[in-house]
Amino acid sequence: MPESDRTETVPAGEGSKLQAALKQMAAAIGAESVHARGAQLDRVARATIPDPKKPAALVTPKDSADVVQVVRIASQYGVALWPVSQGRNWGYGSATACHDNAVVLHLGRLNQILEVNEELAYAVIEPGVTYRQLRTFLELHHPDLWCDCTDGPPDGSVIGNALDRGLGVTHYADHFGTLCGLEVVLPTGDVIRTGGGPPDCQTWHTHKWGVGPHTEGLFSQSNLGIVTRAGVWLIRKPEAFASFTFDLARVADLPRLVDTVRELALRGVLQSACHVVNDVVALCVLTQYPGDLLDRHSRLPDDVLRDLCRRYGVAPWSLGGGIQGTAATVREVKRQLRRALASLGRLTFLDDRSVGLISRLNQWSARSAAGRSVARWVAGAAGKSPEMLQAAPHIHSVLKGIPSDYFVRHAYFKSRLPKPELADPDRDDCGLVWFAPIAPMTGRHVSELLRLCEPLFEQHRFDFYAALLMQNARSMIVLMSIFFLKDDPEQVLRAKRLYEELCRATTADGYQQYRIGVGGMDQLIASTPEFVSFARTLKAAVDPSKILAPGKYGIR
Ligand code: ADP
């Protein structure tokens, strides 16, 4: 990194400047909204990544007027703010900044669902609104509408995830793509609406491009503004829905599977964001790392991995996705999937009726030995393990956009704690960092990326966790996770080295990341100097005091 980048890093206000700014913020928005110490500040200082940066303070405005005041005071004192909506950006840094001493601006209290438009299927929400909150609200008041979610934290923010361009699970999985019409507080304290005029524009939440230069993108993966409200498109509840899972029989057929998924997507047969996961991902969902091996092996020995896969009935790669539409459409898509995939492995379909029966069987199995033996028999007849039968209803419902705590628990794969009912990997010191490069969706490209990365995991002795997420019909995110023990300094160091090497190796081969954690943001500077210089010109114009998330995505 050039020397100028290092010296330019703007820390948040330190010492007396910071104290004076916090005092003024407390006077302006209330002392109860400014935390220079205490449990709430400790909470946002925790993250699953190695060595998270320490925040200096936490500010929790109650509305957008408070946000404007905080921004104006920060600008006056030159104090750096790090905005988060819910701060559940697990594996990418949670609520922590990319530098020490940030003032975390937590927007969780701005949690109003301001409008739901039934006719046009959109909602207008504030940044503190979570997936769980929005879905519950829709189920109660607008049952004809669904929202998308991720298979991550149900209490993550709908707007926060979208601004970091997170990916969901339904055909509305492109979360930033389905945001429409933003209200933004600029680093000067001015407030704008994206999309251009006229005032009270009728199409603010229906016409994403607005008129004139498209500015909405400037506020995602960036540090040019704080989004205080947004329109989010909702899904009209389909007449019929089914989910499918598919177990690939032979590892060597993975490129064929990727090409098949692409063709099905390009022809419009597959519309939801299908996920293809490897054996380690499936094991993380179904079980935990054997406790007796935790301190002896940072990577599952080959024979243990093989045994676990056999025990839990896990295939080398499995695919899952949702199908929605009219009953006739769902029937036809099932037929096309059978035709395309039957020769490559085993395909299973689920609908609400079969999931209801499985759920009842699972409940019976939890209550009695007779239930357990029937569940074992049923699972065996379907070529599955009883644990997979337990997972099936969760998979089916998350593919309908219903958020679930079930999948977040997989972050506890390498935890010394058992998987808790309410997962919080930050609280429980789980060691986890995402690395998420993206490839053109061809079997050739995806295999090349896997071939580049897998040996590095082996070399650094970590399990190779890889999930292939269909981002659109042409691109596939190759999401990898490094699971490490946070209480083992040597493992933490190795996890950091592996992350750096993955960044270097993939960048050298022309693969970019679809989203970057706070620990890896500076690599953007090294690899694309012209782009960064352009972004810095914008930054200098919009944020002359450099107070908003300096260094985020490499932009200062
Ligand atoms: P989630 O809780 O959904 O995981 P976060 O609040 O952790 O989302 O935010 C994810 C990323 O998006 C972070 O980099 C954060 O700085 C940015 N971000 C979140 N909310 C806002 C917002 N309202 N305005 C600007 N940036 C935001």
pLDDT in tens, 62-101: 999 999 999 999 999 999 999 999 999 999 999 999 999 9
User: Which whole number is the average pLDDT over 215-226?
Assistant: 97
The two tokens of residue 103 are: 């003032």
Atom of ligand 1 at shortest range from CA of 90: 4
- Flag whether pLDDT at 527 surpasses 90: no
407 three-class SS: helix
The string of DSSP codes covering 431-459 is: EEEEE-BEEESSHHHHHHHHHHHHHHHHH
- Residues lining ligand 1, judged by CB closer than 6 Å? 83-89, 107, 127, 156-157, 159-161, 163-164, 226-227
Rounded distance from Cα 325 to ligand 1 centre (Å): 32
Atom of ligand 1 at shortest range from CA of 127: 23
Percentage of residues in the chain having pLDDT higher than 90 = 92
Rounded distance from Cα 266 to ligand 1 centre (Å): 31
Q: Are strands 103-106 and 81-84 parallel, antiparallel or unpaired?
A: parallel
- Flag whether pLDDT at 127 surpasses 60: yes
463 three-class SS: coil
- Flag whether pLDDT at 143 surpasses 50: yes
- Flag whether pLDDT at 212 surpasses 50: yes
Atom of ligand 1 at shortest range from CA of 86: 2
Q: Quick check: 152 and 169 in contact, CB under 8 A?
A: no
- Flag whether pLDDT at 5 surpasses 80: no
Angle between helices 489-508 and 443-459 (to 10 degrees): 150
The DSSP code for 514 is: S
> How far apart (Å, rounded) are the C-alpha atoms in residues 401 and 172?
9
How high is the pLDDT of residue 102? 95
* φ, ψ (nearest 5 deg) of residue 424: -150, 85
- Flag whether pLDDT at 345 surpasses 90: yes
> How far apart (Å, rounded) are the C-alpha atoms in residues 406 and 395?
9
Q: Which residues, including other chains, have CB under 8 Å from residue 457's CB and lie 6 or more apart?
A: 299, 463, 464, 480, 482, 498
Q: Which residue has the higher pLDDT, 442 or 14?
A: 442
Rounded distance from Cα 173 to ligand 1 centre (Å): 17
pLDDT bin (cut points 50, 70, 90) of residue 8 is very low
Rounded distance from Cα 165 to ligand 1 centre (Å): 10
Q: Quick one: 302 exposed, middle or buried, by C-beta within 10 A (0-12, 13-18, 19+)?
A: exposed
Residue of 46, 60, 70, 84 best suited for mutating to test ligand 1, as the one with most atoms within 8 Å of CB: 84
Rounded distance from Cα 87 to ligand 1 centre (Å): 6
Atom of ligand 1 at shortest range from CA of 89: 4
Q: How many CB atoms lie within 10 A of CB 303?
A: 8
Residue of 89, 92, 132 best suited for mutating to test ligand 1, as the one with most atoms within 8 Å of CB: 89
Residue of 151, 164, 553 best suited for mutating to test ligand 1, as the one with most atoms within 8 Å of CB: 164
How high is the pLDDT of residue 10? 40
Q: Quick check: 245 and 354 in contact, CB under 8 A?
A: no
**HEC string of 142-158?**
CCCEECCCCCCCCCCEH
Atom of ligand 1 at shortest range from CA of 225: 25
Rounded distance from Cα 220 to ligand 1 centre (Å): 9
95 three-class SS: coil
Report which of 314, 473, 479, 459 is spatially closest to residue 383, judged by C-alpha positions.
314
> What is the chain's mean pLDDT, rounded?
94
How high is the pLDDT of residue 14? 54
Rounded distance from Cα 94 to ligand 1 centre (Å): 9
> How many angstroms separate the Cα of 162 from the Cα of each of 219, 231, 486?
10, 11, 29
Atom of ligand 1 at shortest range from CA of 518: 14
Rounded distance from Cα 241 to ligand 1 centre (Å): 31
Q: Quick check: 102 and 10 in contact, CB under 8 A?
A: no
Q: Quick one: 294 exposed, middle or buried, by C-beta within 10 A (0-12, 13-18, 19+)?
A: middle
Atom of ligand 1 at shortest range from CA of 157: 3
Q: How many CB atoms lie within 10 A of CB 110?
A: 24
Rounded distance from Cα 67 to ligand 1 centre (Å): 15
